[in-house]
Amino acid sequence: MDKISVLIIDDHRVVRQGLHDFLELQEDIEVVGEAASGEEGVRMARELLPDVALQDLVLPGIDGVEATRQIKMVSPSTRVIVLTSFADGDKVFPAIKAGAISYLLKDVQPDELARAIRAAQRNEAVLHPEVAGKLMQEFNAPRPAENQVEQLTEREMDVLRLIARGKSNKEIADALIISEKTVKTHVSNILSKLHLADRTQAAIYALRQRLVPME
């Protein structure tokens, strides 16, 4: 029986060791590599082509969202499972948009993590209950009127499209050659004009209005 190859990407050595020790006890799972940064994770994914990558979000260098996006580019068959401490909507949606198949919190029970890895191998998604609840709330939230998008300036539209692509304020600032402070102002204006609560709702709104393609 071929084992499910797993790459662990986390900047905490103790976390990596704990995951490694547990997963190696599974008869059908094999840890093929460990990375301590986003860049290292992308490089190892390109070299090892693992079946599954366990990906933290907070990493030195590029963050977990960008690392996920790049891993899916260099190894499309790798299923990325986010394993993090954060269930905030502004982290969940960008990670899933970047290509993560599952989103788990680090309080997940070991057996549940193993089941999520096996599910990912079957191309099945697994979400932590708290995360699933947040996503349902976002998608079930009342939609702003379609014509409200006409209230946005051209630059605000640019910012909204980049939000929907999972970009951080810094990444938006770099892409548009403006300051992060200016980006924050644009984001605030977008949320106010569209009567949205946060960036996640803004991203969902942009996708619903087809302002960016559904990838």
**Position with higher pLDDT, 45 vs 1:** 45
pLDDT tens, residue by residue, 70-88: 999 999 999 999 998 877 6
Which residues of the chain are in CATH 1.10.10.10 domains? 146-208
190-210 mean pLDDT: 81
Query: Over 90: is that where the pLDDT of 25 sits?
Result: yes
State the pLDDT at residue 99. 87
Angle between helices 199-208 and 154-164 (to 10 degrees): 100
Q: Note whether 93 and 166 are within 8 A (CB).
A: yes
What is the average pLDDT score of the chain?
A: 86
Which of 82-86, 124-128, 174-178, 208-212 has the largest mean confidence?
Answer: 174-178
State the CATH class of domain 146-208.
mainly alpha
164-187 mean pLDDT: 91
Instruction: Give the span between the Cα atoms of 150 and 157, in whole angstroms.
Output: 9
Which residues of the chain are in CATH 3.40.50.2300 domains? 4-138
Fold of 4-138: Rossmann fold (3.40.50)
Q: What is the pTM of this model?
A: 0.65
Instruction: Give the span between the Cα atoms of 20 and 54, in whole angstroms.
Output: 11
